[in-house]
Structure 1
Amino acid sequence: MMQWEKLLASGRFDPTKKKSTVHDSFRSEFEIDYDRIIFSAPFRNLQDKTQVFPLPEHDFVHTRLTHSLEVSSVGRSLGKSVGEYLVDKYPDLFEIGIHSSDIGAIVAAAALTHDIGNPPFGHAGEEAISDFFKHHPYGIVWQGQVKPVEWTDLCNFEGNAQGFRMLVAHNNGLKLSYATLASFTKYPRPAQVFERDKKRRSQKKFGFFADQIQDYAHLSKVLGLGKSSPECWSRHPLAFLVEAADDICYSIIDLEDGCTLGLVSFEQSRDLMVEILRERFKPEKLEKYTTQTQKLAILRAMTIGKLVEECVIAFCQKEEEMLTGDFDQALTEIIPSAAALSKISDLSVQKIYRSKPVLEKEAAGFQVLEGLLEVFSMALNHKFYQTELYSGRDKSILRLLPEDFPLEGWGEHVNPYPMLRALIDFISGMTDKYALALYRKVKGISLPGA
């Protein structure tokens, strides 16, 4: 059984040392996590990664950056409310210096990073990277060079696993706390498992690639995380709150964006949120606001507040089962408003996620990312494995890779998996605009400076 004193232990991720801490008289260790993330380059890049919609000229819709900030805000509210319950229930937490604000800070920091591993063009980008290795000749060519477990990684790009990789990378300077990293990891398992338990939410996707398994094993040992099977760990309980914050925000705010862009009527949006608000909805108060934007904003705020309350209650009810690893569902699936959220999800799929602007963006994403992977993968393959085909064009392409890209030491008898991971790091870390601009240049569609 997991113990809160250990789950919230101080210390920063560093597999080379037993314990690493940062001392600051003004900020807690977990507040430092939040600040480091805010100032990091990968987080800044989220400002030019679309959440669902391409960015229109006039109406505001959410980018990955604004979405992440909102999820973090909701996560902080969830964490602080749960923290008050935990500190009251477990007095030893207070004795070791843990306050409700610390738990709020952990969830806020983890929620801030929840999309940090997402590639350009959202989920279409994930599929495009996966499909390149599954189906493209210059993707398939690597299969015989890597281990089966590594090939499973390459054919199943996962933004959550890419995020974990970025957060533990030695070259980004983040060095986050163990508690924040574990709370970030909603799916504590590798890509290749003997048999996935479909009843366990934490096994729906995977949370780290083959070369990060030992990193997560180290983290789990420090925090005392349990295992749900020989290959899969149980979630850190605070990961349920990070997931709930994301579920609440994308359900309600995607609906708001869909309404703003005219894909869903105001009346439909209002009625769906009223199903959650129930007796709290006062039509006469809503009529005091003159514009649709104002009415949507107040409905959204009230609805999110109600869902936060329900998720806090659900967490407190299931907290002991989380510690034993027996509870493994999304909190938003067991709250009183679960059916109403399901209706919103169904409508969003029908009217928003399959709308023409979204589908056009996804189609562009497939074209752009496949094209970038093709030219770089081909050049790398020609340089190190089919050397007779290595050309001047390949040389020019490879000069476009980052300065710290590992371009030495590969060859016929060397496993290229680390090199391919570095290539995916480069492409998945791009913003939408940069990916499109680079694609046009390497394909000769536009000239530099044009």
Structure 2
Amino acid sequence: MIKKLYDEGDFKRPFNAGQSKDPSRSEFFRDYGRVIHSASFRRLQGKTQVFPVNESDFFRNRLTHSLEVSQIAEGIAQKFNYEDEYFKTQNLDTKLITTAALIHDLGHPPFGHNGERALDDAMLNHGGFEGNAQTLRILSNNEKKVKGKDDKPFGLNLTYRTLAAALKYDNKIPISRRADEKLVKGYYKSESKLVKKIKKNVCQDSNKKDFKTVECYIMDIADDIAYSTFDLEDCFKAGFVTPLDIISSSSDLLSAVAQKVEKTIGESFDQTDVLSVMSEIFSDLFSAIDKSNDATVLAGQYYSSSRKLIKDGFYRTGLSSQLVKEAINSTIVTLDHDNPALSKVSLKRDAKIKVEVLKQFTYLKTIHSSLVKVPEYRGYELVQSLFKALSDEKSFLLLPDDVRSLHQSASGDFSKQMRIVCDFVSGMTDRYAVEFYGRLHSDSAQSMFKPL
């Protein structure tokens, strides 16, 4: 007997609000609507993806990135529904897949990974801070949609299957750790009971290890594809990097990229391999160059061809489309016959290598640049300063009324109060964080009547 992909427990919610069901709207469609209309989703438009959001309206932010991830994820799901024998009859729900992609970055704080690092340093002995863990907390607690008995918050009160799609790392983050210990990616202790309920309803085993649903796998791969392609496209548009820069990169950068790719794919990979992959990706760009020209002419032709990605929007988007299409067509699914919900999704070897090389190059090229380091440093210092100011003994008076009320209700539990401050700061957009900082520290005239 063929096991169902979705079962009764998948559609249940942490809190039964007793609402009458609308037969024209599936439970996953209701989840999608709740996410789209949430404050956390809107705030993604004001959070950095690669370049600070104040640099240009053209560059991607966390919101546009999430929309692109959702399109790629849906494309992968449609491919499996069309090609795979199991999923032809047990279709992946594309609305659930879309929602999984739209929520994947909700937990990111202002100023990207540097804001994340600043908050984690501040929360070192109070459960840490991690973007994926924060996403689950937002969905199940912070968002102001559903309240239960005694005003207990249930966040958006999404179905267990949708919440499962946000559970990217199945690890409980320790309450405290040494400063030299790396953060364990996963979920906070405050959501540990919820995670057990998710597992119980999705796979009938509350103690299941290495829990990750097929929707989460698809979202994760779609995120990598988007990051490796569209973030690099932004770098090209900005003139931040060109293909010529890539193939003539320093040995240190190529070595760093190779090491990260090697760690991910689990096989030997060196600088020569990095250059080989990059040369293949950009082969069409340099194919018309006449190699018989003298060095000066040849250098000029390479430079002009390389600049094409900055000047020619048609070529730039054409290359991105090609890379995304190749990656989607290279996805494979391995069915878990005992529990189809936990089926694994991966990329074929060559496609995975290509995605990883582009992703790691973009990441390392940007974080090592002095142009990016300055706003990164400012972001870390600003978030750290905000947290320090708001977590002092009497500083709760600086918090908005609703956050202040939560802070006071947690009186006597310092770690819980710190988490409430962390929730507030991490939910800020880049611009709001700068403005709030200015109201605390700047001599510039700021209206006291503007709401916090």
Q: Deviation of residue 319 (structure 1)?
A: 2.4
Task: Work out which of the residue numbers 200, 217, 222 in structure 2 matches 1:221.
Answer: 200
Superposed displacement of residue 58, structure 1? 5.0
Q: Does 1:130 align with 2:146?
A: no
Q: 1:24 maps to which residue?
A: 22
One-letter identity of the residue aligned with 2:326: K
Contact 2:403 2:420 in 1 (8 A): no
Verify the 8 A CA contact 1:187 1:235 in the aligned structure 2.
yes
Q: 1:139 maps to which residue?
A: none
- Residue 242 of structure 2 is matched in structure 1 by 265
Cα gap change, 1:21/1:216 in structure 2, threshold over 3 Å: closer, same or farther? farther
Alignment match, 2:187: 208
CA-to-aligned-CA distance 1:387-425 (integer Å, 9 cap, x gap): xxxxxxx4xx614334243243555xx322222211111
CA distance in 1, matches of 2:318, 2:187: 39
Residue deviations 1:53-77 (CA, integer Å, cap 9, x gap)? 1136557211001000100111111
Residue by residue over 1:404-449, the C-alpha shift from the partner in whole angstroms, topping out at 9 and shown as x without a partner, is 43243555xx322222211111110000000011112112443314
Q: Which residue of 2 aligns with 1:308?
A: 328
1:55 aligns with 2:53: yes
CA distance in 1 between partners of 2:217 and 2:135 (Å): 17
1:398 is aligned to: 397
Q: 2:141 aligns with which of 169, 175, 196?
A: 169
Stretch of structure 1 that moved more, 401-410 or 115-124: 401-410
SS across alignment from 2:48: coil
Structure 2 residue 261 is matched with structure 1 residue 246: no
Q: Which runs of 5+ in 2 are unaligned?
A: 146-155, 176-181, 248-275, 289-304
1:376 aligns with 2:390: yes
User: 2:134–2:187: 8 Å Cα contact kept in structure 1?
Assistant: yes
Q: Structure 1 residue aligned with 2:424, among 411, 423, 426?
A: 426
Shift in Å at residue 183 of structure 1?
1.4
Find the aligned partners of 2:158 and 2:408 in 1 and give their Cα distance. 30
Q: Which residue of 1 aligns with 2:11?
A: 11
Aligned-partner residue type, residue 131 of structure 1: D
Contact 2:237 2:310 in 1 (8 A): no
Judge conservation of contact 2:224–2:359 (CA < 8 Å) in 1: no
TM-score with structure 2 setting the length: 0.74
Q: Bigger CA drift: 77-86 or 294-303?
A: 77-86
Q: Does 1:89 align with 2:86?
A: yes
Equivalent AA in structure 1 for residue 346 of structure 2: L
Q: How far did 1:269 drift?
A: 7.4
In the alignment, the residues of structure 1 paired with residue 403 and residue 24 of structure 2 have an alpha-carbon distance, to the nearest angstrom, of 35
Give CA-to-partner distance per residue, 1:346-385, whole Å, 9 cap, x none.
421342232233212211111111111111111xx2x4xx
Change (3 A) 1:28 1:283: farther
CA contact (8 A) 1:277 1:303 kept: no
Report the number of matched residues.
386
Going from structure 1 to structure 2, the CA distance change for 1:277 and 1:244 (only over 3 Å counts) comes to farther
What is the Cα-based RMSD across aligned positions, in Å? 3.8
Q: Note the 1:48-447 alignment, pairs <5 A.
A: 48-55=46-53, 57=55, 60-85=58-83, 88-89=85-86, 93=90, 99-100=91-92, 102=93, 104-134=94-124, 143=125, 151=126, 153=127, 156-169=128-141, 171-173=143-145, 174-192=156-174, 205-224=184-203, 232-266=209-243, 275=280, 292-311=312-331, 314-315=332-333, 318-320=334-336, 323=339, 331-332=346-347, 334-378=348-392, 381=393, 383=394, 394=395, 398-405=397-404, 406-409=406-409, 414-447=412-445
CA distance in 1, matches of 2:323, 2:447: 47
What whole-Å deviation, never above 9, does each CA across 1:289-316 have from its counterpart, x for those lacking one? 99521101011012101101111xx22x
Deviations 1:98-157 (A, max 9, x none): x44x2x2111101101000100001111100112244xxxxxxxx5xxxxxxx3x1xx31
For the 8 Å contact 1:45–1:430, the answer to whether it is kept is yes
Q: Distance in 2 between matches of 1:179 and 1:35?
A: 15
The code of the aligned residue for 2:113 comes to: H
CA 1:52–1:121: 2 relative to 1, 3 Å: same
Give ranges in structure 1 of 5+ residues lacking alignment. Answer: 94-98, 135-142, 144-150, 194-202, 384-393
Q: TM-score, normalised by structure 1?
A: 0.75
